[in-house]
Structure 1
Amino acid sequence: MEIDTSSVEEHENSKSQFVRWFREVAPYVHAFRGKTFVVAFGGELIQDGVLNTLVQDLSLLSALGIRLVLVYGSGPQINEQLRLKGLPQNFNNGIVIPTNTAALECAKEAAGEIRLDIEASFSQGLPNTPMSHSQIKVISGNFITASPVGVLNGIDFQLTGKVRKIDTEAIKFAIEKGTSVVLLSPIGFSPTGDAFHLEMEELATSTAIAIGAEKLIFLSSSEGVKNADGSINPEIARAKAETLLQDNNIDTTTTKFLKNSVMAVKKGVARTHILPYGIDGSVLLEIFTHGGIGTMVVEDNLDDLREASIDDVGAIISLIEPLESDGTLVPRPKSLIERDLEKFTVLEHDGVIYGCAALYPFPIEKMAELACLIVHPEWQSSGEGELLLRHIESRAKKMKIDRLFALTTRTSHWFLKRGFVRGSVKDLPKEKQINYNRSRNSLIFIKNMK
């Protein structure tokens, strides 16, 4: 009788993939624990039936120690209320429009209905779901003081308002223990007790700036900012985003989010994101993967190529250890890495070290060794290894190095494609010849730097 081992193998692969994923997201968990995210979405997300899935993902973020402030819009729901009352429907795409008394009453009804839907979603406790044992409390109230937009370009915006003041202390107090989320509706109140309809995007942006949020996340029906070839631009520096807005080649919905993203970053929010809510788990994919799923706006690009510091030792060891275990690299004790730290360069993205390389000079022979060139498996094949190599070569040239060499047992083709040629032990510096480990029989590759 033959035994089908395919299901067993698939099960084992599944377990190993889970372990690998869990280890890969750990740096992000450490980086964002205790940080505050403002997550904003329009009524379209609720209309499209995505609310429960989103709340489950937000519940997971809360369980990981991320503090959450949620801001919601209600355009489609206001339009439905207006339709039922036989009134004109004109709330769409986040465009600021005049709000009369009848429309404000519809806005209040829509906001209240959505607030209850959100509270109900956070009250789920079904077993075998992310909401099991979550016990997250939703806190909402009069956190926002509003004032009327007034008359602009001859148009009286009536009961359409703008954010005047945010009770930051109350919001921070509500979320500081991490077991509650603050929910902000698109209705603000003046000191005289009057209510005003607020623009969701402006409310979310003003809140993120006021409370010093780490991230402002917009969930949109659009996929993000697209490049000329139709692909999504995963990361845009603020100055570049401003140029794109001036060119006016972006659809209306994305333009609205991008303008507010630029404003938030300009005023101190570290990162803003425009994500497609139509993709399942888009928030998790954006936060816990290197490439993300939408568009992120930052003051400057987050990829940082720099010299290693003492704080990077643990990250370097975690990159090296798997390759030491499988025999690709010679084991290096922590003390050796600490001693040679000034020889290391690291690649950092969003606070996570995902690549490194070291340069060991041999001044007498005007040679240097390229060692420990490593890129985390999740981020390989994206040019990061090439980036590290160019940086090491630049450092070597500044040190007046004539030839760069590398020893490898498994990546010979990579070096050959980048201008290295095969060498022999006798081509190495004398000190390296003496220390060459003949039992490993590493291949030697040399590149002329002149």
Structure 2
Amino acid sequence: MSALAGHPGPALLARRWRDPAAWRTTVDVVAILLAASLPWSTSLVSILGVVMLITMVPYLDIERLLKILKQPISLAPIALFVLALVGTLWSDAAWGTRLYAVGPAAKLLVLPALLYHFQRSERGLWVFSAFLASCVLMVVMSTAVAFNPALALKANADRGIFVKNYIDQGQEFSLCAVALAYPIAQLLRARRFVPAGVLTAIMFAFLANMIFIVVSRTALVTIPILLAVFGLIHLKWRANLMIAVSALVLALAAWFVSPQLQSKVATFTTQYQDYRNDRGVTSIGERLEFWRKSLRFFAGAPLIGHGSGSTRHLFELAASGRTDLAGSTVVGNPHNQTLNVAVQWGMLGVVILYAMWAAHLLLFRGDGLVPWIGLLVVVQNIFTSLFNSHIFDFHEGWMYVIGVGVAGGMVLRSRTKPDLAQGPVAP
């Protein structure tokens, strides 16, 4: 009994329970697991997101948190959520639909919490490394599923899709591929050819998967834009010219050897023609019809919109009496982030959305790997949101929240004095 009473376990556990550093480490671990699980599971991401917020509570420094919350990088996403919540008051949709429409904006509340935490944490790069490693494993599984579809966890999945869908997978792979350009360039400048070669091989694995196995139209459009941003910021004009020529040669080679790429590119024109001639429902035709109707909805309530969750009801009214395939389609998402916000909350919502993007772009000014990752996440989200509502979509929305939150916190940390990054002293 005396030996048991003198056991140091309970005392050590009690000290760690009161130690803010131990809680910060716990949050780091949960954030790493959250990033690693994002390519694979939606339910696990939701659970870990809640757990991460709960584990932040025991060591909260209210003063520092308020400083973060008062900055535009936090105010804008919070304001967008608040607008979605208040927008339920003037919507004509059923209350269940109104509240359901608030849910996609709720993840934005996690962004200020990540900014607060990773302003003090030193493990931000671990989060990005976990996401990269998870996506590398997804490349392996995607390739395996392409050759043996029976391995797919998702029933009736597209070719090369192990879980999720080709849009989510394309977002992950394109982000990782372009993000690796910066460390590869830095390693080559330092003549560290072995690690540069390893990262280059990983980059080409992502690109090869997107060319030969799972081709995403959104990725095809955004990858050249992201590479152009990298070249303009980090390279001289001669290097940009060489990369442009090399990219053109590789694109032509990929075109001739990849039937999947040819087929996907051909859909741009064939689907548009099918839409014009009402020969069937196509994704491009649907988007054009959604955008045309959404602009009309926006014109009907330009200042504060029709309210949260009103989009589907508006499409139902617009489809009444229509016999053409595209015109009779009813959706609750116009597949464009700006229009999604404009229909529900008018110009007020659009101003807040663009203010958020602008604030986050300005946050990542400067050179370095972390600002590059943060900038890339924001730029990718802005351009892909032309074709989807990627702030409100689950997967892409969490990519934005994690990427901007972690990278933004690390940038803020680098701009503070060393003694301010240590965190509060345990009582």
Q: When the two structures are superposed, what TM-score results if normalisation uses the length of structure 2?
A: 0.23
Larger relative contact order (CA 8 Å, sep ≥ 6) = 2
Bigger Rg, which one: 1
Q: When the two structures are superposed, what TM-score results if normalisation uses the length of structure 1?
A: 0.22
